[in-house]
Amino acid sequence: MTESFAANRLQSSGAYALELDGVARHFGALVALSGINMRIAAGERRAVLGSNGAGKTTLFNAVTGDFLPTSGRIRFFGEDITDLPPHERIRRGLRRTYQISQLFKGLSVLDSIFLACRGVSRRRFSLLRPAITDVNMVQAESILNAVHLEAYRDTLVATLSHGQQRQLEIALALAGAPRFILFDEPAAGLSPTERRDLVAILNALPKHIGYIIIEHDLDVALRVSEYVSMMHNGRLFKEGTPQEIEADPEVQEIYLGGKHG
Amino acid sequence: MSLAIATNVTPQQNWLERLGAGHIILAVALVLYPLVASDFFLTQIGGYSLIFGMLGLSLMLLAGYGGMVSLAQITVAGIAAYAIAILGSNNSNVLGFGWPWWLAVPFALLSAALASALIGWISVRTEGIYTIMITLAIATATYYFAQQNYAIFNGHSGYAGIRAPAFWGIGWRDARPFYYLCLGLAVLSYAAVLYGSRSTFGMTLQAIRDNPRRMRALGYHVTAHKVFAWALAGIIAGLAGVLLVWFNGRVSPGTIGVDAAIDVLIIAVIGGLRHPIGPFLGAVVVVLMQTFAIDIVGAERFNTLIGMVFLVIVFVSPDGILGLWGRIKPHLAQESLRPGQ
Ligand SMILES: Nc1ncnc2c1ncn2[C@@H]1O[C@H](COP(=O)(O)OP(=O)(O)O)[C@@H](O)[C@H]1O
Ligand SMILES: [Mg+2]
């Protein structure tokens, strides 16, 4: 498998949103990620499953540059982004959410989303107050509505409930014309209603926006993705449609145990 | 932020209401202060409080909005002060280009902004207590360098004989004009910081304080934003430095010593870092104490007294005097500050 990817290395093209070749990440002696080869077509929606500590979040950190990979190359729409700092990757259309919400507790909900829109546009250093009619403010308002937080427009982020904070996490990733999004367990800790909202939001995304979603619940994964990758001990060990994965005996044994069998 | 002034802004308010009762009362009191104050109270108390309030404000901008606590604000002010001495005229026969004030001041502010940006660029890799340590190291190093360098800083004696400008028929070092000059520049700095806190850049700074990692994941070059904040803070500290050297007529390494650096931190913390008015409140308290407490308790015990007041205020209210004010404010608001119907 590694060899075939190595052979294909030079054939990369813009048709892939994301290409990972031999990506590894070590924390001291701990190998959190090793030999990850992955190709995701533009607009593809992929679920990544795996037990806790499998290396899923580390994979996201390597792609966004939060932590650089120890070895391997990463291409985004054909461009090698392995050595780019995080903000440069984001400006190329990559977005992410965090498993543990990373928000601005001293800002209002609308201002947070506004900053998310402004981050990939111009006038990031403007010393003027943004007008209500500012293009990024208008975008922020419409994202606010899309994630159903309009009632909390001027609320301080620190006072939001867990579910609302998770929605804001998603809002921040939707801002500013994303091309590809990494969702890190967006459904964790959500109520059934909030989960339904989440599935609706994901399914309502424009078709050209691809994503990877880390999701423990195979039923949720089935409804928001066409393809599933399984991770275990820092390696990708199986790929297939949700139905194939659910039926695979090896997957049953390693990951799902008796839960789904 | 719960504050007595300029809160609850709604679109239907007119500009007078939006300014807030607190701001209007304060402004009127400050403008009328010279009618009751002696020259000593105008300059040694009024002018000094405003100057040190501006130094505290430059720290508040970095610490309150940016989460970066600096001990090098007096160093930056000192660089502006030295620039005024060197670019303008002095009687030390070392350097002195004799530039007019309107040319020297912009260059002094520019040097302060650049020096501050450089200090920021060096220290933004650090966080929390380490930022305090590295800026203290920079402040100390600058102090010793100024003391030992004769070619530029004229060693331990520094520069004397620096004159404040005189124009429009006014000598700006005279008590009243100097007080109004300090007041004008302090109000300008205060208003700029207050307005800027809600600007795009102000919001990015507060967001970086709260979560730099997320700001990177939104496309922001976090280091560049921090360094820009240092440059802006440097302009305010530089303005304070210009006023300081005009007032004292001299600048020497003593101006930028470690004790002065710590004074600025104490002023900002005593006053409160959550709102730009805080450092000015802190400055009034510290300047009053420095002026009068020495007579009462003596010079040796004076630092003990300052230290104790500092401890008590931080202990009772982590948000400084502003925090105390916030606690009594609910009663005040009900009784007198409520807008009439
Ligand atoms: N910053 C870090 N320092 C040290 N070890 C880490 C760090 N981040 C993750 N790990 C380790 O890497 C492994 C994979 O973690 P992670 O990617 O968070 O797993 P998952 O998201 O699949 O639950 C775990 O053993 C975890 O303890
Ligand atoms: Mg994880």
pLDDT attached to residue B329? 54
* Ligand 1 atom index nearest CA of A56: 22
pLDDT interval class at A189 (50, 70, 90): confident
Q: CB distance B210–A130 less than 8 Å?
A: no
Q: Which residue has the higher pLDDT, A3 or A225?
A: A225
Residue intervals of chain A classified under CATH 3.40.50.300 are: 1-93+178-261
Residues facing A25 on adjacent strands: A33
Find, in chain B, the residue whose alpha carbon is nearest to that of A125: B201
DSSP assignment of B138-186 equals: HHHHHHHHHHH--SSS-GGG-B------EETTEETTSHHHHHHHHHHHH
Whether B16 is in a domain gets the answer no
Residue B59's nearest CA partner among B50, B68, B48 is B68
Q: Are strands A30-41 and A16-27 parallel, antiparallel or unpaired?
A: antiparallel
| pLDDT for residue B326 | 65
**What is the distance in A from the centroid of ligand 1 to the CA of A52?**
9
Distance from Cα A174 to the centre of ligand 2, integer Å: 20
Interchain contact, A106 vs B206, CB within 8 Å: yes
In chain B, which residues have their Cβ closer than 8 Å to the Cβ of A66?
213, 216-217
Q: Which residues sit with Cβ closer than 5 angstroms to ligand 2, an ion?
A: A 57, 99
- CB-CB neighbors (< 8 A) of A85 in chain B: 216, 221
Q: Return the H-helix or E-strand segment holding B26.
A: helix B21-36
> Number of residue pairs across A and B with CB atoms under 8 Å?
94
Lowest-pLDDT choice from A20-24, A234-238, B239-243:
A234-238
Nearest to B203 among A64, A107, A176 (CB): A107
Query: Taking CA atoms, what residue in A is nearest to B225?
Result: A125
Q: Is it the case that residue A173 has pLDDT exceeding 80?
A: yes
Q: Which ligand 1 atom is nearest residue A58's CA?
A: 17
Mean residue pLDDT of chain A comes to: 87
Q: What value does the mean pLDDT take over residues A254-260? A: 53
Report the DSSP pairing between strands A30-41 and A210-214. Answer: unpaired
CA gap A185, A56 in Å, rounded = 10
Closest CA to A232 of A246, A213, A206, A253: A253
**Rounded to an integer, what distance in angstroms lies between the CA atom of residue A38 and that of residue A69?**
14
Q: In this structure, which residue's CA is closest to atom 17 in ligand 1?
A: A55
Distance CA B208, CA B193 (A): 17
State how beta strands A45-49 and A71-76 pair.
unpaired
Question: Could you list the mean pLDDT of each consecutive 10-residue stretch along chain B, which spans 341 residues?
Answer: 42 62 81 80 88 95 91 95 88 78 92 96 86 90 89 83 80 84 95 93 95 95 96 97 92 89 88 87 87 74 76 75 65 36 30
Q: How confident is the model at residue A250 (pLDDT cuts 50, 70, 90)?
A: confident
Question: Beta-strand (E) ranges in A161-226?
Answer: 180-184, 210-214
The minimum CA-CA distance between B109 and chain A, rounded to whole Å, is: 18
Atom of ligand 1 nearest to the CA of A28: 4
Fold annotation for A1-93+178-261: Rossmann fold (3.40.50)
pTM: 0.87
Contact B218 A116 (CB under 8 A): yes
Range(s) of the domain holding residue B194:
45-333
Collapsed DSSP state (helix, strand, coil) of residue A205? coil
Residue B328: per-residue pLDDT: 60
Span A121-160, pLDDT tens digits: 889 999 999 998 999 999 999 999 999 999 999 999 999 9
CB of A57 within 6 A of ligand 1: the answer is yes
Quickly list DSSP for A148-177: T-GGGTT-BGGGS-HHHHHHHHHHHHHSS-
Predicted local distance difference test score (pLDDT) of residue B16: 59
Q: Is residue B32 domain-resident?
A: no
Is the CB of A50 inside a 6 Å radius of any atom of ligand 1? yes
Q: How far is the CA of A70 from the centre of ligand 1 (A)?
A: 14
Residue B108 in any domain: the answer is yes
The stretch A20-44 carries a mean pLDDT of 92
Closest-CA residue, ligand 1 atom 6, reads A27
Using an 8 Å CB-CB cutoff, list residues of chain B that contact chain A: 195-196, 198-204, 206-207, 209-211, 213-222, 225, 228
Residue B269 sits in a domain of what CATH number?
Answer: 1.10.3470
Instruction: Extract the tokens encoding A46.
Output: 């992929």
Instruction: Kindly state whether residue B29 falls inside one of the protein's structural domains.
Output: no
Judged by CB atoms closer than 8 Å, whether chains meet at A86 and B200 is answered as no
Q: Whose CA is nearest to atom 27 of ligand 1?
A: A53
Flag whether B9 is in a domain: no
Q: Rg of the Cα trace of chain A? A: 19
Residue scoring higher pLDDT (B276 or A14): B276
Domains identified in chain B, total number: 1
Region A15-38: what's the mean pLDDT? 92
The conformational region for residue A22 under phi > 0 = left, psi -120 to 50 = alpha, else beta, is: left
Q: Tell me, what's the pLDDT at B49? A: 94
Burial of A129 (0-12, 13-18, 19+ CB in 10 A): middle
Selecting from A64, A105, A114 the residue whose C-beta is nearest the C-beta of B217 gives: A64
Which residue intervals of A9-85 are DSSP H helices? 56-64
